[in-house]
Amino acid sequence: MNSDLKGHKKKKSIGFRFAWKGIKEVWSSERNFRIHLIAGTLCIAAGAALRVSTVEWALLIIMIAIVITLEMINSSIERVMDYLAPQYHPLAGLVKDIAAGAVLIASIASLIVGGFIFVPHLITLF
């Protein structure tokens, strides 16, 4: 194996290690991340129990990924703003509010998509 390929594999390994470290940090420090991850897990369990279609699975996975990703980005933005503006600054607060708003919009959209997917399946059960 040539040295370029070995270096590439090592860089990928290090990248995954850093990514995993970030995920563990958000899990341990951010309550909303844990709530969204648990909600996503429950949606996956409901999808399996209700035997949703392939397209419905795709929509569920995409919405879960969007919410979790935005939650991680929001956490990152909050930390950067806390670092840049240790004392309260209205602009720092506004930036944090905007990032939190993005998570809220994605969460509401995921609830709507989940409703479109799960309600018809639940109606057929009763």
> Which amino acids are annotated as binding site for ATP, given as ranges?
30, 78, 96-97
List the binding residues: 30, 71, 78, 96-97
Tokens of 55: 């397209």
**Rounded CA gap, 94 and 45, in Å?**
37
Q: At what angle do helices 54-84 and 90-125 cross, to 10 degrees?
A: 160
64 and 44 Cβ atoms separated by less than 8 Å: yes
Q: How wide is the angle at C-alpha 57 spanned by C-alphas 53 and 61, nearest 5°?
A: 175
CB 71 within 8 A of CB 32: yes
Instruction: Give catalytic status of residue 71 as yes or no.
Output: yes
Query: Residues annotated in the binding site for a divalent metal cation, as ranges?
Result: 30, 78
H or E element at residue 56: helix 54-84
Catalytic residue among 36, 71, 81, 107: 71
Numbered residues of the known binding site for substrate: 71
Enzyme catalytic residues: 71
